[in-house]
Amino acid sequence: MARILADSGEELADVTFETGNAPLTLLVRRVVTGKGRLFKYFFSQGRRTITLESGGFRLEGKLATEWGGTHRLWRVRLADPRDVYRRLERVPAPQPRQYPAYGSRRP
């Protein structure tokens, strides 16, 4: 069992899931609670970014859906860890603070 959280942290749904055929994709097997909230988040609000929380792990991803003939199919495309690493490379590192030498006098 896992929880799908909105980008604001609000709980949208409790789901069961399995790994998908495509890399970094999870298929939602069953929406246990929150079908209406999930539907509203995706269609009415036009939001896609979610967090999947399961057993102490939190994974970011994008929500996707399609019609499966008789029911709606939900998928979560997980964020590629390489993209996260690339974004972190662009974050400027803080510069070390300069302290006066020990015993020196300030002007």
Q: Is residue 94 part of a domain?
A: no
Number of domains in the chain: 1
Q: Which residue has the higher pLDDT, 88 or 78?
A: 78
Q: Is residue 27 part of a domain?
A: yes
Q: Is residue 106 part of a domain?
A: no
Is residue 92 pLDDT above 70, yes or no? no
Q: Is residue 83 part of a domain?
A: no
Q: Is residue 62 part of a domain?
A: yes
Q: Is residue 24 part of a domain?
A: yes
Q: Is residue 80 part of a domain?
A: no
Mean predicted confidence (pLDDT) in 53-70: 89
Is residue 83 pLDDT above 90, yes or no? no
The whole-model pTM stands at 0.72
Please list, in sequence order, all residues whose beta carbon lies within 8 angstroms of the beta carbon of residue 76, skipping any fewer than 6 positions away.
Answer: 4, 17, 25, 26, 28, 50, 52, 59, 61, 62, 63, 64
Mean predicted confidence (pLDDT) in 69-82: 86
